[in-house]
Amino acid sequence: MEPQGPNADAKGPGWRDMAGSSFDGMSPDGIASPVLAALHTLHHQHRGPCGGAVATYIPELAKADPSLFGISLATVDGHVYEVGDSRHEFTIQSISKPLVYGLVLADHGRDHVVTKVGVEPSGDAFNSIIFDEKGNRPFNPMVNAGAIATTALIDGASPEERLARIVDLFGRFAGRPLAIDHEVFLSERETGHRNRAIAWLERNFGMIDAQIDEHLDLYFQQCSILVTACDLAMMAATLANAGVNPKTGERVLAPHHVRDILSVMNTCGMYDYAGTWSFDVGLPAKSGVGGGIIAVLPGQFGIGTFSPPLDDRGNSCRGLRVCQALSEVFNLHVFAVSPSPLTVIRNQYRATRVHSKRLRSAPERAVLDRFGDEVCIYELQGDLYFASMERLLRDLDGGLEGVCYVILDARRVGRIDASARRLLNRLHEALADQGKRLLLSGLPASLLSLLREEAELPWPDESWFEDEDTALEWCENRLIAAHIPASRRPVGPLPLAAIEIFACLTTDELAAVQTIVEEVRYCAGERIIREGEQADCFYVVRSGSVIVRLDLGPEKRMKRLAAIGPGLCFGEIALFDGGHRSADVVADEETSCYRIPVERLAQLTGAYPDIRAKLLFNIGRELSARLRSATGEIRALEGLGDP
């Protein structure tokens, strides 16, 4: 049945109505927010008389102003939209029920709790006195009988401690400390004969223990906690965010308890309107006779509405219509929202086509060109859950012939759920069986430790990398170590003659260069070149390694542009245009370099006219090799084939 009242046939506004709203919903920086504009439009459309009546069976509630009306929406990253009386305080009433259900699930575990309170919709009114006789328990925790039995299960050494636990929990859901409205509490305690009768019946059936007055007081107090529509939105967003408050970042409840709460909200949250609500609106929700409603779109956001007039089922008339309209216009029904597992693989390539930022010598490049296909990189995106992992595993299956290293880059991955972690651990085992290594990059530390804890086959230490580049560099180093014998790798600081760009110089020319070259040593982390400085010299690494990096500002991290090891030069820009340095260069470890001042090199030209030309030619050849490789990488990263 549709809600009653003058606005009963007011259909939700169409998208055009919302977009064309005269309420432009400007954010402080002047950019119109279409989301806020939509809330303003809804508020405007439904703020008139709505046909319901404020609850009077608790005398204090009868004093509520029926014109109050607030809407708030909080996202899982903590952004709050609000319109109307969104900061007006009112009592939470039945919206306390799902939260206390969560507390009790955490106290006793679901197996015990379901023996005391069922999870079947009763189809009856909120205050119905009907029980699940077979199970000897109330039908569900969302009707009063179930809620009283739930409250009776709250742990605590004293009534004060039990109450403090409730108030504290609600505050953590809302992201601010909350208080009780004592007038409303006393008013309900005085007049709540029906709830008292329910509790005594439950006592009679052995559903709750003997401290009936204590449990009822607690129940009446939990219902009298003061909240605003914004608080409700944040509570709903905490449920949407699998139990982590998006504003404070605090985990309030474990995800499996949140799942149980949302399940009962979905089937029983709106009393005897629950079925129609689930059919039409499709958002797990809970209403309270104080005029509040919360609705949750898991993984996306929570809504909190407040308007005291209720329909004949005890649901806020305006709140109901706002939720209906929002769901309709934005297609929010949980069964209409489906993730797409098919886009999980953003890109896939081999180390022959994309190289790490470590510059390589010619022999090293030759190894990577020949054996780079042994390293396979998958860039992943979106969330990892059963279906997206299945898609990835299917792609890996059969596609790894000749591959020794598989890098999964998770930099663009959002959530990774338990089933994805399980499948990742299985993949690690399956690859290890075939003598292959699975490497992961860009995963948050918390997820890494979970993966490790859950692994049956321990992961080797070198399985985790901050980013794809360092993972790739590690694999390249392994290939180079496997294919260039140690005897052919340089030991100790390189002499000038062994450096590629000085090849082709005659012995006399080399000796002349030797006279202008300065040998400089740097300790790890020391800056060699500063961005913006005048470029008047260039460098060659003798031993150690340097990093070319961009400083992305105080909040952001450094971006590594290149890593340069022995025999390779940097700062060559000085030879060409002598302009300003375009990035910082710092020593990555204890490093020794040759520093060649450009002016002094120019002075050699009189006696040795060919030196400059030979150096420019060698550096030019080196740069064009890098350019060619960069073009190839862009092709691979853009998903294009070889030319």
- Comparing CB distances to ligand GLU, the nearer of 139 and 378 is 139
Spot the catalytic one: 54, 80, 289, 403: 289
Amino acid in position 290: G
Min CB(94)–ligand GLU separation in Å: 3
Q: Helices 418-433 and 386-396, interaxial angle, to 10°?
A: 20
Collapsing DSSP to helix, strand or coil, 490 comes out as coil
Min CB(96)–ligand GLU separation in Å: 8
Amino acid in position 397: D
- Comparing CB distances to ligand GLU, the nearer of 274 and 377 is 274
Interface with ligand GLU, residue 314, by CB under 6 A: yes
- Comparing CB distances to ligand GLU, the nearer of 188 and 374 is 188
Beta strands 375-384 and 405-416 are parallel
* Chain residues 193-222 in contact with ligand GLU, contact rule CB under 6 A: 195
- Residues that bind ligand GLU (rule: CB under 6 A) add up to a total of 11
Tokens representing 217 are 């007081």
Tokens representing 178 are 């909350």
Annotated active-site residue 349? The verdict is: no
Min CB(309)–ligand GLU separation in Å: 14
Spot the catalytic one: 86, 94, 307, 356: 94
- Comparing CB distances to ligand GLU, the nearer of 126 and 301 is 126
Q: Are 151 and 198 in contact (CB under 8 A)?
A: no
Tokens representing 224 are 């009298």
CA distance 21 to 34: 9
- Comparing CB distances to ligand GLU, the nearer of 288 and 571 is 288
Annotated active-site residue 63? The verdict is: no
CA distance 563 to 569: 11
Amino acid in position 386: F
Tokens representing 412 are 């663009």
Binder of ligand GLU out of 126, 185, 502, 570 (CB under 6 A): 126
Q: Helices 212-223 and 96-108, interaxial angle, to 10°?
A: 130
Tokens representing 6 are 């003058």
CA distances from 440 to 464, 471, 500, 532, 624 (A): 5, 8, 35, 36, 32
Q: Which of 194, 236, 239 is nearest to 81 (CA)?
A: 236
Binder of ligand GLU out of 288, 298, 566, 567 (CB under 6 A): 288
Spot the catalytic one: 81, 271, 273, 349: 271
How many other CB atoms sit within 10 Å of the CB of residue 12?
20
DSSP string, 154-207: ---SSHHHHHHHHHHHHHHHHTS---B-HHHHHHHHHH-HHHHHHHHHHHHTTS
Q: Are 146 and 139 in contact (CB under 8 A)?
A: yes
- Comparing CB distances to ligand GLU, the nearer of 63 and 527 is 63
CA distances from 245 to 233, 252, 254, 590 (A): 11, 7, 12, 45
Spot the catalytic one: 101, 219, 385, 539: 219
DSSP string, 395-452: HHTT--TT--EEEEEEEEEEEE-HHHHHHHHHHHHHHHHTT-EEEEES--HHHHHHHH
Min CB(231)–ligand GLU separation in Å: 16
Q: Are 52 and 64 in contact (CB under 8 A)?
A: no
- Comparing CB distances to ligand GLU, the nearer of 118 and 314 is 314
Binder of ligand GLU out of 7, 21, 45, 94 (CB under 6 A): 94
- Comparing CB distances to ligand GLU, the nearer of 199 and 407 is 199
Min CB(95)–ligand GLU separation in Å: 7
Binding mask 318-357 for ligand GLU (x = CB under 6 A): ----------------------------------------
Annotated active-site residue 356? The verdict is: no
Annotated active-site residue 271? The verdict is: yes
- Comparing CB distances to ligand GLU, the nearer of 95 and 359 is 95
Tokens representing 257 are 């308890």
Min CB(254)–ligand GLU separation in Å: 26
Collapsing DSSP to helix, strand or coil, 72 comes out as strand
CA distance 322 to 12: 8
Tokens representing 524 are 């790890």
Annotated active-site residue 586? The verdict is: no
- Comparing CB distances to ligand GLU, the nearer of 192 and 565 is 192
CA distance 430 to 163: 51
* Chain residues 144-173 in contact with ligand GLU, contact rule CB under 6 A: 144
Binding mask 240-279 for ligand GLU (x = CB under 6 A): ----------------------------------------
- Comparing CB distances to ligand GLU, the nearer of 128 and 425 is 128
Min CB(236)–ligand GLU separation in Å: 16
For the chain, what percentages of helix, strand and coil (3-state, to nearest 5) are there? 45, 20, 40
Spot the catalytic one: 72, 81, 96, 97: 97
* Chain residues 177-196 in contact with ligand GLU, contact rule CB under 6 A: 188, 195
Residue 600 has, within 13 A of its CA and on its CB side, a CA count of 12
Min CB(422)–ligand GLU separation in Å: 40
Min CB(97)–ligand GLU separation in Å: 8
Residue 266 has, within 13 A of its CA and on its CB side, a CA count of 17
CA distance 41 to 20: 9
Q: DSSP secondary-structure letter at 487? A: G
Q: Where are the alpha helices (DSSP H) in 289-373?
A: 317-330, 362-371
Binding mask 573-612 for ligand GLU (x = CB under 6 A): ----------------------------------------
Min CB(261)–ligand GLU separation in Å: 16
Min CB(68)–ligand GLU separation in Å: 17
Min CB(314)–ligand GLU separation in Å: 5
Binder of ligand GLU out of 223, 242, 367, 431 (CB under 6 A): 223
- Comparing CB distances to ligand GLU, the nearer of 93 and 241 is 93
Binding footprint of ligand GLU on the chain (CB under 6 A) = 93-94, 126-127, 144, 188, 195, 223, 288-289, 314
**Which residues are the active-site residues?**
94, 97, 219, 271, 289
